[in-house]
Amino acid sequence: MSHVRFRDPAGAVRTGSWTDDGIVFADSTYDPDEVDILPPTEPSKIVCVGLNYADHAAESGMEIPERPLLFLKPPNSVAGHGDTISLPEGKEQVEYEAELGVVIGEQCRNVAAEDADSVIEGYTCVDDISNRDDQMVEQNWIRGKAFDGSAPIGPVVAPPEDVPGDATVELRLNGEVKQHSSRAEFIFSVPEIIEEITAYMTLEPGDVIITGTPAGVGPLADGDRVEVEIEGVGTLEHFVSAD
């Protein structure tokens, strides 16, 4: 069953189960629209995979990498379901990127691909919001990828068995479908990605790996509503402010 972090009406932070009847914690059931949905995990880092769909590599004019292209987003980039994201001031091209997020369940290092499933807690939805103005002119993408709120995550962490190997990944901007693909189109599979990352760094419980975006990325503007829906997980919704 999918779990969700939320702040109850008394202000306490809880972790409950998201069911058809609402969010269940202890003996209480809460309407999701009447509580504050928090990011479902508090990662020490988000490890991101670039160019993991051939169609996105093509639209970006980039060659398919020979190994996973990795970069990081720090904890300050995390935002939650229902949040309004403030875009960096003075930028002309800030874009959405729908991605499947892999939530790590235990501290791990040097994990072989065949053992990767044992360290996965579950899956979630992520929008890897990207400031192209700066990303295109810097090498380490700090300004382009690591600004505050640039990684809305949620609304839940779904157990691995709920998310098919060919789960659909879709992004809607103001109700219009802009991205639609499947994790079956990954260039590098989740186990391959985990093996590559953990060859270089330790992953901690709650860390998130985001697995790349399909074709169809595009600009965000003031007042936009973004929905990232992943089969088996649900729908992450957030809003955009350019004030």
Can you say how many angstroms the Cα of residue 105 is from the centroid of all Cα atoms in its chain?
16
Q: How far apart are CA 4 and CA 41, in angstroms?
A: 9
Q: How far apart are CA 221 and CA 202, in angstroms?
A: 37
Task: Classify strands 234-241 and 84-86 as parallel, antiparallel or unpaired.
Answer: parallel
CATH 3.90.850.10 fits 41-241, yes or no: yes
pLDDT tens digits, one per residue of 151-196 = 999 999 999 999 999 999 999 999 999 999 999 999 999 999 999 9
- Please, which residues have CB within 8 angstroms of residue 234's CB and are 6 or more apart in sequence? 2, 18, 125, 155, 156, 158
Confidence at residue 90, expressed as pLDDT on a 0 to 100 scale: 95
Confidence at residue 205, expressed as pLDDT on a 0 to 100 scale: 98
Asked if residue 226 lies in contact with residue 237, where contact means CB atoms within 8 angstroms, the answer is yes
Query: Tokens standing for 161?
Result: 């068995």
pLDDT tens digits, one per residue of 67-120 = 999 999 999 999 999 999 999 999 999 999 999 999 999 999 999 999 999 999
Q: Where are the domains of the chain?
A: 1-38, 41-241
> Helical H runs in 104-182?
132-135, 142-145
Q: What type of residue is 165?
A: G
> Helical H runs in the chain?
54-59, 132-135, 142-145, 190-198
Confidence at residue 243, expressed as pLDDT on a 0 to 100 scale: 76
- Please state the pTM of the whole predicted model: 0.97
Q: How far apart are CA 99 and CA 187, in angstroms?
A: 14
pLDDT at 125 over 90: yes
Handedness of CA 48, 82, 103, 44 (dihedral sign): positive
Query: Tokens standing for 148?
Result: 């505050």
Confidence at residue 128, expressed as pLDDT on a 0 to 100 scale: 98
pLDDT tens digits, one per residue of 21-67 = 999 999 999 999 999 999 999 999 999 999 999 999 899 898 989 99
Question: How buried is 120 (Cβ within 10 angstroms: 0-12 exposed, 13-18 middle, 19+ buried)?
Answer: buried
Instruction: Name the nearest CA neighbour of 129 among 30, 228, 42.
Output: 228
Confidence at residue 62, expressed as pLDDT on a 0 to 100 scale: 87
Query: Tokens standing for 56?
Result: 């996105």
Task: Classify strands 208-210 and 46-50 as parallel, antiparallel or unpaired.
Answer: parallel
Confidence at residue 239, expressed as pLDDT on a 0 to 100 scale: 98
